Amino acid sequence: MSNPFENAMSQLDKAAKIMDLDKGVYEVLKQPERVLTVSVPVKMDNGEVKVFTGYRSQYNNTLGPYKGGIRYHWNVSLDEVKALSFWMMVKCATVNIPMGGGKGGIIVNPKEMSEGEIERLSRGYVQKVWRNIGSDKDVPAPDVYTTPQIMSWMRSEYEKLVGHDDPGVITGKPIEDGGSEVRGYSTAQGGVYCVLELANKMSMTPADTKVAIQGFGNAGSFMAKILSEKGYNVVAVSDSRGAIKGSALDIEKLEAFKKETGSVVGFEGTEELTNEEILELDVDILVPAALENVITADNAQQIKAKAVVELANGPTTPEADEILKEKGIVVVPDVLANAGGVTVSYFEWDQNVKGEHWSEEDILERLERIMVDAFNEVWDTKEKYSIDMRTAAFVKAIERVGEGLKKTLI
């Protein structure tokens, strides 16, 4: 397995060379500002005490409080958390929101735990990191296998420890607990704004544009729904059980079918494919919306789409990136394409800090403005340096962080 932190640093190196990055800034950005490693003891339902290892990486807060999710997963590692916190820094800076990069995780299989055990784990984690988080310091959010309910437990534990309300300490909360409108589909909506801008740049009209979406979970299903409402032809989708393709799919009927059967496989009038085959379909836009590392050196040559829009985190390996670039395939990178999620998280924080609640319409208007501006800035940077969009996003982001960082170097 490739080391995620080494991958992140190779991306930093690549951007640094292109933009001739200040050496002092480069040295600072090669490591996180702080990494917490904590032991979280939990009394299990059977009376035994189990100790879980948790992390919080605070990469850089030049632009604002650290921001990033907390994941509960058996494969969580320190290098993964550090890499993810670096990418969060890049993501926030790419879309120009006043947040830094952070990420957390606990090595645990939450599927093997009861609700009570997960609550005790969540509160226990906050007991270990509370001095280092807060709406003005570090603002966690949900990630893999963490939920709005877990965020509510964390918020209540934090407020108990500090002795006062701080609704902005955590985002991704339920709406009744200070959460934001649009949060449920923010990642997909941000991705849609990127697709619309991309189609404009590449002269694609909705009716003639075929889209394949690998992953029909929360982000992928919302993306499919919104794009088909806008007249795009979503011709293939997949979930963990397999993939299907047809002519323009009826997404509403497909959602109902999946709810009933547990999978998209077997939907009327479609042909069954594997999750690997969906990536190689002859479509205009391919949207990997599920797992990381699905486009690799092994299959990149077979990708036929004109553009790839990364709704998942890290779906394309660095080796595959080079192959896609040689083939002339435009890749809208995850740090831009799926930044709708962190942008609406930032809106939630902003509302909480100001004691406001914004309407869905207001949030969509703000989100569109941010995503469209960011897309065009990255596109212009790509044109300026004749580089791919991922490297352009890194250059733009590191430029922003670097400018702020230079002022703080003594």
Instruction: Please check whether residue 234 is in contact with residue 248, taking contact to mean a CB–CB distance below 8 angstroms.
Output: yes
Selected catalytic residue, list 103, 173, 225, 382: 103
**Residue 408, SS3 per DSSP:** helix
CA distance 304 to 373: 28
The pairing of beta strand 34-43 with beta strand 49-60: antiparallel
**Residue 286, SS3 per DSSP:** strand
**Residue 75, SS3 per DSSP:** coil
Q: Which residues of 302-326 are buried (b: 16+ CB within 10 A; e: fewer)?
A: ebebbbbbbbbbbbbbbebbebbbe
Helix 389-408 to helix 4-19 angle, to the nearest 10 degrees? Answer: 80
- Catalytic annotation present for 103: yes
Helix 186-201 to helix 340-354 angle, to the nearest 10 degrees? Answer: 130
The β-bridge partners of 36 are 56
Both tokens of residue 295?
């486009």
Of 185, 156, 182, residue with least CA distance to 169: 156
Sign for the pseudo-dihedral over CA of 223, 229, 231, 235: positive
Give catalytic residues, as residue numbers.
103
